[in-house]
Structure 1
Amino acid sequence: MSKNDISSSLEDYLEAIAEIIERNGHAHTKDIADRLGVKMPSVTNALQALSARGLIHYQSHSPVELTTEGAQTAAVIRHRHTALKKFFSEILKLENKEADTTACKIEHVIGETVLSRFVALIDAISDREDCAPLREYLASTMPKICPDETEELISLDQLPKDKSAVVVKVAEGLRGLKKFADLGLVPGTLLQFEGRAPFGDLLRIKVMGSSLSLRAGDAQYIWVKLAD
């Protein structure tokens, strides 16, 4: 039976059973209910459904056991979860709980081809020597990106001299969006305002180690928040 033959909810149960057995050596109905935060009748219904699909051995008042097929399916589900959680925690720098929750939401819909490419990307960023600058950039930038809309944002042209900031959003009214994106002026980018030109409306900013000139009129469309 393919993992696609069971719902995302049943995948959660199967994953929980495998984790509990690995930790405790056995999995009882109450253990599963506690692990998933659900009521006992819900667990019973799910176990009956998994048993009917040949993924577990289930008898009332006895520990739940995975069948060979159930163990294989659970391993695939857990592999997806582990790989996605690693991406969210090590690459996107999310807190452990948020990384775990996000991985749980996505793992049920991601295909094996996409997953394998995620793993290749994670391994490359984590291990390749030529990715060291990228690792440093991610480590310094990702934790500063926050969707909290209550934070005060300022337009780039209002950023004080020598101050650093993170780009939060770029307004659609900015002409040549692709040009600015190619320069690195996209949400999440860390930049520094170096100052204004003596004459005219040009601003000097440093982005990823390079100094750029930007019209003040264009800078009004780029919203940033001060970096810590």
Structure 2
Amino acid sequence: MGSGDLNMKKSWHPQTLANQRRVAEVKQKAEEEAQRAAKLQKELREERQREEMDRLNATVTKKTINKLDWMYNAPSVGVPQTSEDLEAYLLGKKDANDLLRDKAKHEEKQPDKWRDGLFAFSNRNANNDRDTMAKTIEDPLTEIKRRERQAAMQHAMAKKSRDKGDESRKKHRDKKSRRHGDKDSKERSRSHRKHRDSHRHRSRSPDRTHRRSRRSRSP
């Protein structure tokens, strides 16, 4: 009479093909995630082992490893005013060739004992000064800082010139307004004197006419 389990026609039944396909996809994703996690853990363990080996080698050979400060720190022997020179280069006031020439001139002026010490130091670190300067100049971060400082200086100079221009224009306007004010004051004073003189003339005219008429009538 019946044609099988009617629950197989329900969407929630686990034996339907769609639900079995969903379960298989979820299991596959879980397996892939577990494989990625295991691979990441393996890489982390290998990285820790390498770091441990590097630390052991550093304690044996008395050397520091994986340090990038040497790329940016200038040598501490025979280089006077290194930070000032680097600051001048970042601000664009000095060129790299000028810095190297100044360094060579300074080494030529050193006494023999200091020259010997510098020579021994340079033997241990061949071309250390030039390499350090070249690496500092070629470093993108140094170039970015130099451009930022130049842009800040240009902005400050432009702002200063604008402020001077605004102050000069303000002084010119004040001077012009004072000049016009003095001119208007003079015009008002002149007009007031003219009006006063005309008023005096009109007030005196009838008296003079009356006096003349009386004189003419008298015997």
TM-score by length of 2: 0.25
Bigger Cα Rg: 2
* Higher-RCO chain (CA-CA 8 Å, sequence separation at least 6): 2
Structure number with higher strand proportion = 1
TM-score by length of 1: 0.24
